[in-house]
Amino acid sequence: MSQIQTLKQKLEARLPGLSAVIDEPRNSNGPWMLDVALANKAVNIEWRPHRGFGISSADPHRKIYYGQGPDEVLSSVEETVERVFELIKLGKSTAAPSELTLAELREHLRFSQAQLARRLRVSQAAVSDLEKNVAKSQLLTLRKAIKALGAELEIRAVLPNAQGFTLKLPEAVTPRSPRSVRPGKHRPPKHL
Partner 1 sequence: MAASKAKRLEEFYRRLRELPAATSFEEAWTQINRTLNQVEGEMSGVPYDPSKWQTDGRLYPPQPDSERKVSRYPKVRRFRSLQHNTLIGENGSIEIRTLAGGVVLSKNGADGKGVTGQ
- Binding residues (CB under 8 A) for partner 1: these are 23-27, 29-31, 33, 35, 44, 46, 48, 51, 54, 56, 58, 63-73, 96-98, 156, 158-159, 161-166
Shortest reach from residue 143's CB to partner 1, in Å: 18
- β-partners of residue 192 are none
Name all contacts of 57-62 with Cβ < 8 Å and 24+ positions apart.
Answer: 57/87, 57/92, 57/93, 57/94, 59/93, 62/93
Provide the 8-state DSSP code for 63: P
Shortest reach from residue 164's CB to partner 1, in Å: 4
- Could you count the other beta carbons within 10 Å of the beta carbon of residue 58? 17
Shortest reach from residue 14's CB to partner 1, in Å: 22
- β-partners of residue 41 are 38
E strand residue ranges, the chain: 19-23, 32-38, 41-48, 52-57, 72-74, 156-158, 164-166
Say whether the peptide bond before residue 189 is cis (omega within 30 degrees of 0).
yes
Shortest reach from residue 115's CB to partner 1, in Å: 22
Please tell me whether residue 183 adopts helix, strand or coil conformation: coil
Nearer to partner 1 among residue 150 and residue 175 (C-beta):
150
Nearer to partner 1 among residue 23 and residue 107 (C-beta):
23
Nearer to partner 1 among residue 97 and residue 189 (C-beta):
97
Nearer to partner 1 among residue 58 and residue 140 (C-beta):
58
Nearer to partner 1 among residue 156 and residue 186 (C-beta):
156
Shortest reach from residue 61's CB to partner 1, in Å: 14
